[in-house]
Structure formats: C-alpha cells, structure tokens
Amino acid sequence: MITEEINKKLKEWNDNTPSDVGVGYSFKQTGGVYNGEICISFSVKEKKPLSELSEDEVLPSEIKINNELTLKTDVIQVGEISVLQCSRTTPITPNQPCEPFVLTAPTNRSAFATLVGGISITSVNTSSSVGTLGMIVQDINTNVLLGLTNNHVVIGNSIAAQYQNLNPYLGVNFPTTNEILPNSNFTCQPGEAGFQTGSKFGQVVRYVPLVPNGTLNLTSGGGFTSPSLVPKNRVDGALVSIDCNRINFNQSFRFSGFETLMPNPLPFATTAEIDSLMGTNPQLYSSGRSTGPKGLGTLGCELRLFGINQINTINGYKWHQSGGVQYGTGGSFERLIAFFKPSGNATQPHCLWPCAGGDSGSMLIANFGTQASPNFRVIGLVFAGNSCPSYPTATGSQNVFNTNYAITPTSMGGCGLGNSYTNWLGYACRIDDVANELGIRAWTGGTAPLVDPNSINVITLPGLSASATTTCQNNFYYQIGTTMVQNSCGGANFGAKSILLQSPNFLNGQTLSPVVRHPSCVSPIPSQPAQNISVGLLWSLTDFTTSDVLSYSLLMEDINAGGTSPSGNFVHWKVTNIVPTQTSINLWVSGPTGWLPGAIIQQTDWFPAAVNPNGYGGPCPPNHTYRTSITAYLTAAAGGGSVTSNYITFIST
C-alpha cells in the first residue's frame, strides 16, 4: 500500500523537477517490459541519452523513502499528455485525432434509447467535440440519479472563476462563462453529429472548476506560466441530469459492451483498495466512445495498471475565444491512476491505445476477484492520455500496427529509440476523489428520483469568487462560471440575513502549500518551508449592512484535533471585537497585523507557542481539515442576535 511517506516523497520530487516532468508510484520497466518491481517513475516529454544531459538534469537511480525502504527509479518518455477530447472537425493537437486507427466503429457511438455507461455524448457548449458518458451515479444529498463524465466533455470553459481575468492576452476584456443556467447547456446522446435537440437527454448541473497553470494562445502560439499558491487539481469531472424517458432503473447501471460480463450495479472502490492497487495489481476494464469495451476476455485489448498517485501536467483544455483567437491552458494534476495495454495484437482492431480521443469520461474498472468469480469495482474516471508513442500508422488495410514507429528517432518524426506500446498510457482521476469533489456515490440500482429542471436555482457571489462551493439556507451551490446577473443569497429570492465568507488565495476544500504551516512544524517540502503565512479572507453581507453590526469574530479550527473551540476542536485563529467596517484581511507574510484598531486577538490552542502578529497559528499535522467562519453580532435595531457565515475549509500538506 502506498504510504504517506511515499506520497510526501512524490510531492517533494515534483516540486524540485521541471513542470513538464511527471512523478508517480509505478511499476518498473526492463527492456520495455514491466517486471513487477515497484519504483518511483519520472515521465518526460523526450528521453535523452546521458551524454546530452547536464549534471543537474540527471535523475537518481534510487530514492530513499526511510531507513527501511529505498525505491529504484525509472524514466519513461510520454510526449505530451492531453485530455482525450475528440474534435469532430479539427484535432486539438496533431497527435490527437479522433479515430484514424479504428477499423470498425464500436457500438458505443450508436444511439441508445436507454442510457448506459460508456456511450457517446456531447453538449450545447461543446458541440464541436464528442466524449463519453461514464456511468449513472447518485447524488449524496438528494439521491437523484446523474450522468458522470469529464468537465471538458460538456463544459465550454471550465476554468475556475478567480482565474478568468488573469489572461494577459485578454487584459480586462474577458467573457462571462456561465455554463449551467437553467435550460441552457443541454446534453445529447449520441454526440457524433454535434448537439441535436432530438437526441437531448438532460443538462449539465455540476462540474469541478479547473485550476489553470498558465495561458496558451492556441491560434498563433505563445503563452505564460502563472505561479500560484493554489493546489493541484485532482478531478476533471461533471454531472448531467437525466430525462425520465431515457432511464431504465433495472438496466441503466450497465456499461456498453459489458452487459453480460457486468450485469449488476458496480460499487466504487474504497480509498484503501485504490491505495493498495500496486499490491493487488488487478485486471482493468473500460468502455469508451472511441475504442469501445476493453479488458481481459473482451474484443478490446487487455488493460493493466502502470501506477497510482501520478503527478502530471495535463494539456489540451480550451479556455475562451477573443478577437478570433482561441485560448487554452493546461492543469497540474495529482493522485492520478495510469494504465496501459500489456501486449499488441493486430487481430484486435480496437487494441492500439489503452484509450483514445473521445474516450474522455469513461470509467476505469478493476476486478478484485478472479475471472471465474469476479469482483468488479470502479476505480477511476478516465480523462487523458499521452502522445508519444503516437497513433500507429497503418501500412495495409488490416495492419493497424506500425512496429517501426516505436524505434523511429525523434529527428525523423518518431518518438525516440526504444519506445514501445507499453509507453502508451491512459490517465484517470481516482474515484474516491471524484466522489468527494462532486458529492456522489455509486448507484446500486432500483427506483430513484431524477432532477426536476425547474428546481435548479442560481445565486451569485461578489467579484471573481474563489469558492468552488457554498451554501445558502442549508442548500448546496456549486460554481458554474461568471455572470453579469445579480441574484445573491438572502436577496429578494431568499429573504434571510447571511454572510458569504471566501478567500482569494485558495479553493474551498483544497490542499494548501506548506508555507501556511506553523514554524515549529517541519515542512514536508524543503523548498517550501513553514512560514506561518495566513490566508486572506473577505466577507460580504446580504440583507443587512455594516451599520447593523456591533462587531465580528473570527474562528479557525482543526476539525480533526481536539481543543477549546465551542465544537471541541483545536483553535488556530481566534479574533473578537473586529470593527463593523472591516470586511476583509489580506494574506499575511510579514508586517502589521492587518486588523483595524479595536480588534482583540485571543489565545489559541498553540499557547504558549508563538503565533503571528494577527493571531494566526498555522497547521501542523498533514491531511487535517481546517475550517474558518465569521460571526456578526447585530444591533438591537437589526433584531439582535448573531449571524454566522458559511465555512471555508482547506487541507494541510
């Protein structure tokens, strides 16, 4: 099982190598064949001879994890890793066409009267491309059934809101990006001809916003990398509603091509099962729009595990257009599952890549049992693949393998000497991360409610908010882009006093850099020492004003450690008597406290250890959740009492 020590070492090496070098916990290759030995792998765009590398470019042959464990390393050439977006007109990159290699189109691209997993879809906002409906899942709060896919399959601009104005090419002229206004971004099946009203089956209702790592001019080239304190992405995911005439409660949990092999609903694998994949090394299966069903015993190729908790940059995300220019970006991802096909068999027309353009949104499934007594569980959501080795070039109508391509030098248009089909990798987001960030669970079959389109409400937050989720009157709301329409929580449509708390420095529920840690705690990343830097906060009032406020108080607590907070949690930051006119505090690195005169800094559970001047004492244990809230105490004229904001949370490194 992968351990926290190994995860720390992966992050450390990722932080200390160039951004185009991936790091992961993987199986090692010897002579192009996986030998079963577990190693730390480095994936590079182009593998060069040692004679062409400078001293600081040479990676170690082994890495010490602790006194009892040292792992060998491996370096593989993967070219560019991109989302598996399948453009119906022009490929995003020359190495990402739709299906030049498939001799017989799989039935996954057909029209299905009853929705199942693994079939072709598109949406109004992505009508020029096509992807895969992964499976039918269930919302954890409402129990409604939803279709699971990738955000880039159905979302035209999935970039998180706070980055929408950070594009130097566009200056301040950036478009609104609302992706889910009721009755707007419909989905259809199949998606082969673009969005067709007659094939509509629902609409996009939720997605995970993408944190970009820069801006790319896809029309004429050029771009920039934007350093940021925000964490890496873990999920490329979206949910779509399902119309009642396209669901069968006794069949829609199945997958195209696996109806006999997997006749029953599949559960999600647990975190422990995914963490143990390198030990169990199960057979893998997937069914997608372009390459159809794959796995041992199917017409498609066999799939096996390459590694888990991979950290890679994934390219190919479209952003928006301006002045005839298409802008795009990449995203830094962590905790990915990588998989490959272990053999080449020219008699299998769909067995070239483990996945291909158009398979985005398909599910990765593992058999934790045997072929005779299978135990299938969903382990991931497929969304990306590499470009090197590239798609094989057919030299005859039945010869779908070009065995010479893998040994063609890069100077002649190949991928370099010594590469083989074992380096064709697919990438999937872990299903435990997908479930956590989208708020879903596996559907066990049987009757369940569906989304009422008239029940979809939209609220707006001020500015380009960093909040991926928020609450309003005990209901959950998920970020869907930017808009010029104002419909605030607690406004005319809601009628209740509320405080919206957010931070300009992180996405709600994400992992922060070690620089926020308390200085008495050793950082797991030497290049990012603990500095007790406190995040910036800002809060806004709805249905009352600062003249109705006597004072505010702030509380930040570790919900995974005991302490003196009213909830019995460890207090990291407590300030009272904050003056009514103060509605923000900036990120603190050094200097004055940031509080206006009158604020009272209270003792934290760090006492007698020091805190920074504004009262903040940072995290220490890794993987704990820290939540912050603001409470306003009201004047008698405003009704007295208090109003507490939503919680914003982050996770410690």
> In sequence order, what DSSP letters do the residues of 187-234 get, joined into one string?
EES--TTS--GGGEEEEEEEE--B--SEEEETTT--EEE---SS--B-
Tell me how far CA of residue 316 lies from CA of 110, 206, 212, 218, 643, in angstroms: 26, 21, 11, 9, 44
Strand 238-240 and strand 223-225: the pairing is unpaired
Residue 398, pLDDT above cutoff 50: no
449 in a structural domain: no
Residue 8, pLDDT above cutoff 50: yes
Instruction: From 411, 442, 473, give the residue that closes a domain.
Output: 442
Whether residue 558 sits in one domain with residue 519: yes
Whether residue 246 sits in one domain with residue 136: yes
User: What pLDDT shows up at residue 647?
Assistant: 81
Whether residue 472 sits in one domain with residue 361: no
Count of the separate structural domains present in the chain: 3
Which of 162, 17, 52 has the alpha carbon at shortest distance from 465? 162
User: What pLDDT shows up at residue 322?
Assistant: 63
451 in a structural domain: no
Instruction: Confirm whether pTM is higher than 0.95.
Output: no
pLDDT tens, residue by residue, 444-494? 999 999 998 877 777 777 767 777 787 776 677 888 877 756 667 655 444
Which of 359, 281, 217 has the alpha carbon at shortest distance from 25? 281
% of the chain residues with pLDDT over 90: 48
Whether residue 230 sits in one domain with residue 322: yes
- 430 neighbors 335 (Cβ within 8 angstroms): yes
Whether residue 398 sits in one domain with residue 345: yes
**More confident: 191 or 469:** 191
Q: How many CB atoms lie within 10 A of CB 336?
A: 28
450 in a structural domain: no
Whether residue 94 sits in one domain with residue 52: no
Enumerate residues 6+ apart whose C-beta is below 8 A from 227. Answer: none
Instruction: From 25, 60, 77, give the residue that closes a domain.
Output: 77
197 in a structural domain: yes
Q: 640: domain range?
A: 459-651
> Which of 136-150, 181-195, 387-401, 499-513 is the least confident region?
387-401
Mean pLDDT of the chain: 82
Whether residue 567 sits in one domain with residue 546: yes
Strand 33-44 and strand 70-77: the pairing is parallel
Whether residue 165 sits in one domain with residue 313: yes
Whether residue 89 sits in one domain with residue 34: no
Whether residue 103 sits in one domain with residue 41: no
- Per-residue pLDDT band for 406 (boundaries 50, 70, 90) equals very low
**More confident: 513 or 362:** 362
- Per-residue pLDDT band for 241 (boundaries 50, 70, 90) equals very high
> Which of 9-13, 63-67, 362-366, 389-393 is the least confident region?
389-393
Distance CA(265)–CA(254), nearest Å, equals: 7
453 in a structural domain: no
User: What pLDDT shows up at residue 27?
Assistant: 94
The CATH number that applies at residue 512 is 3.90.280.10
Whether residue 621 sits in one domain with residue 501: yes
Q: How many CB atoms lie within 10 A of CB 281?
A: 15
454 in a structural domain: no
Q: Is the dihedral of CA 583, 172, 327, 361 positive or negative?
A: positive
Whether residue 297 sits in one domain with residue 258: yes
Instruction: From 390, 409, 442, give the residue that closes a domain.
Output: 442
Which of 474, 552, 466 has the alpha carbon at shortest distance from 506? 466
447 in a structural domain: no
% of the chain residues with pLDDT over 70: 79
pLDDT tens, residue by residue, 60-96? 899 999 999 999 999 988 888 889 877 655 433 444 4
518 in a structural domain: yes
Tell me how far CA of residue 208 lies from CA of 237, 379, 417, 439, 510, in angstroms: 6, 18, 39, 11, 12
CA 41 to chain centre: 21
User: What pLDDT shows up at residue 461?
Assistant: 76
